[in-house]
C-alpha cells in the first residue's frame, strides 16, 4: 500500500527547460522524454536552460513545481515588463551582420546585459560573403581592443570560425532580426527548424512562435539556445552602478574618481573621463555609456514605482 503523499512524490520528476513558449515550457527529462509544462501562479519565472522539478499531470504533460538555483540569467526589460532569454548558459553569441547594418547601440546594450549577468560573450559578424563585411569587421576592432572575441563567419557558407568556440558549452544566440540567426541555427543543427513552428502551433498558441527561446543539442556536451530576433535590448532592471561596472574597460578606473558616487558624466576629478581624455577609454564607449545613463535616469524618474511591481 502506498500513501497518497508517496504517490504524489512518485510523479515528481527532474528535467531541464529546453523551450520557453511564454506560458508553456518544454521540459526534457533524463531519458530525453519531453513534457509540455505549465508554471503555476502568475509569475512565469521559468526560463530556457533552467533545471526544474515537474509534477506529471499526463503522459506528456506536467506542471513546473520548482525552478532550481541558477548560475546566471539573461533577461531584458523595459518600464513595463521583463523578458527572460535564458538561464545557466556558458556564453552568449551576439550575431551581427553588415547588411542590414547592425545597430551599434544594440551591440553595446547586449554587452552591458551580458556583463551584468556575468556571462562571457562572443561577437560574431555574419555574412562574410558580402562586400560590406570588411568595413563592418574593421569597425569591430574597438571591441577586440577591450577584450571581446570577435569572429567573422557566413551562415550561408563557412561557419568554421564559430563551431570550435561552441564546443562543450551551452551558448545563447542573440541578435536583431535579419542578422541570420535562423540560418546559423540551421547550419549548426542541420535540420529544418520550421518544425519548431509546428510544435509551437500544436501547443495551442501559434501566435507565440516568434517569442520563445529554444535549445538545440549539437552533440553530447554542446548545445545552443536560439532566441527570437528583437530590436532593442532594454536594461531597465539594472542600477546605475551595474551599468558602470558592465563597461569592462572602465573597471580599472572605477572607485578612483574624486566623488564616491561619481556617475562619470561631467563631475570634476572623474577618473573615467580622465582615462577617456588620455585615450585609455574610447570616446564612443564613454559616449554610449553617458547617453544610456541619461535615458535610464529619465525612464526611472518617470516610473519611480517600478521596483514595487
Ligand atoms: N549573404 C548572406 N546572407 C545571409 C547569411 N546568413 C543569413 N543571410 C540572409 O539574411 C536574411 C535573414 O536571415 P535569417 O536567418 O532569417 O535571420 P534571423 O536573424 O533569423 O532573423 P529573424 O527571423 O527576423 O530573427 C535571410 O535572407 C538570409 O538568407 C550569410 O551568411 N550571407
Ligand atoms: Zn567618475
Domain ranges in the chain are: 4-67, 73-226, 240-308
pLDDT surpasses 50 at 249: yes
Reported confidence tier of residue 184, pLDDT bands at 50, 70, 90: very high
The 8-class DSSP code of residue 102 comes to P
Q: Would you say how long the chain is, in residues?
A: 309
Of the listed ranges 169-178, 225-234, 257-266, the one predicted with least confidence? 225-234
Q: Which pLDDT belongs to residue 195?
A: 45
Share of the chain above pLDDT 70, in %: 87
Residue 161 near ligand 1, beta carbon < 6 Å? no
- CATH of 240-308 given 3.40.50.720, 1.20.1290.10, 1.10.40.50, 3.40.50.300: 1.10.40.50
| Strongest mean pLDDT among 176-180, 217-221, 270-274, 293-297 | 270-274
Strand partners, 173: 93, 226
Average of per-residue pLDDT across 179-201: 69
| Helical H segments across the chain, by residue range | 4-10, 104-116, 133-139, 141-145, 163-166, 181-189, 194-202, 240-245, 271-277, 283-302
Query: 4-67 and 73-226 share one CATH topology?
Result: no
Q: In a mutational test of the pocket of ligand 1, which residue from 183, 188, 209 has the highest number of ligand atoms less than 8 Å from its CB?
A: 183
Strand partners, 170: 223
Q: Which pLDDT belongs to residue 253?
A: 97
Residue 180 near ligand 1, beta carbon < 6 Å? yes
Q: Which pLDDT belongs to residue 38?
A: 92
Q: Which pLDDT belongs to residue 208?
A: 44
Q: Which pLDDT belongs to residue 191?
A: 53
CATH of domain 4-67: 2.40.50.140
Q: What is the pLDDT of residues 13-66, one digit of tens each?
A: 999 999 998 889 999 999 989 999 998 776 668 999 999 999 999 889 999 999
**Ligand 1, atom 14: nearest CA belongs to which residue?**
180
Query: How far is 29 from 35, CA to CA, in rounded Å?
Result: 8
Query: How far is 292 from 26, CA to CA, in rounded Å?
Result: 36
Q: What is the pLDDT of residues 114-172, one digit of tens each?
A: 999 999 999 999 999 999 999 999 999 999 999 999 999 999 999 999 999 999 999 99
Q: What is the pLDDT of residues 57-107, one digit of tens each?
A: 988 999 999 999 999 999 887 767 778 899 999 999 999 999 999 999 999
CATH topology of domain 73-226: Rossmann fold (3.40.50)
Question: Can you tell me whether residue 181 is helix, strand or coil?
Answer: helix
Average of per-residue pLDDT across 198-205: 49
Ligand 1 atom at minimum distance from 184 CA: 15
Amino acid at each position: 500500500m502506498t500513501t497518497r503523499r508517496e504517490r504524489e512524490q512518485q510523479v515528481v520528476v527532474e528535467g531541464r527547460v529546453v523551450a520557453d513558449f511564454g506560458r508553456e515550457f518544454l521540459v526534457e527529462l533524463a531519458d530525453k522524454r519531453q513534457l509540455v509544462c505549465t508554471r503555476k501562479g502568475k509569475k512565469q519565472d521559468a526560463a530556457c536552460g533552467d533545471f526544474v522539478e515537474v509534477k506529471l499531470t499526463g503522459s506528456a504533460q506536467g506542471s513546473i513545481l520548482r525552478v532550481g538555483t541558477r548560475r546566471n540569467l539573461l533577461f531584458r526589460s523595459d518600464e513595463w515588463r521583463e523578458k527572460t532569454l535564458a538561464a545557466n548558459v556558458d556564453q552568449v553569441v551576439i550575431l551581427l551582420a553588415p547588411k542590414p547594418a547592425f545597430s551599434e547601440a544594440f551591440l553595446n546594450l547586449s554587452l552591458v546585459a551580458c556583463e551584468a549577468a556575468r556571462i562571457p560573450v562572443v561577437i560574431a559578424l555574419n555574412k562574410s560573403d558580402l562586400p560590406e563585411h570588411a568595413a563592418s569587421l574593421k569597425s569591430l576592432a574597438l571591441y577586440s581592443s577591450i577584450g571581446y572575441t570577435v569572429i567573422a563567419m557566413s551562415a550561408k557558407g563557412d561557419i568554421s570560425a564559430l563551431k570550435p568556440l561552441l564546443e562543450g558549452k551551452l551558448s545563447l544566440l542573440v541578435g536583431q532580426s535579419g542578422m541570420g540567426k535562423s540560418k546559423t541555427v540551421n547550419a549548426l543543427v542541420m535540420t529544418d527548424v520550421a518544425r519548431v513552428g509546428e510544435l509551437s502551433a500544436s501547443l495551442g498558441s501559434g501566435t507565440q512562435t516568434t517569442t520563445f527561446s529554444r535549445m538545440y543539442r549539437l552533440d553530447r556536451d554542446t548545445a545552443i539556445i536560439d532566441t527570437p530576433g528583437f530590436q532593442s535590448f532594454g536594461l531597465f532592471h539594472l542600477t546605475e552602478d551595474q551599468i558602470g561596472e558592465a563597461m569592462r574597460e572602465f573597471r580599472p578606473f572605477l572607485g578612483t574618481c574624486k566623488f564616491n558616487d561619481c556617475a562619470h558624466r561631467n563631475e570634476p576629478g572623474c577618473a573615467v573621463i580622465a582615462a577617456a581624455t588620455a585615450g585609455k577609454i574610447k570616446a564612443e564607449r564613454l559616449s554610449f555609456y553617458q547617453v544610456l545613463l541619461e535615458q535610464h535616469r529619465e525612464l526611472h524618474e518617470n516610473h519611480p514605482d517600478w521596483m514595487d511591481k
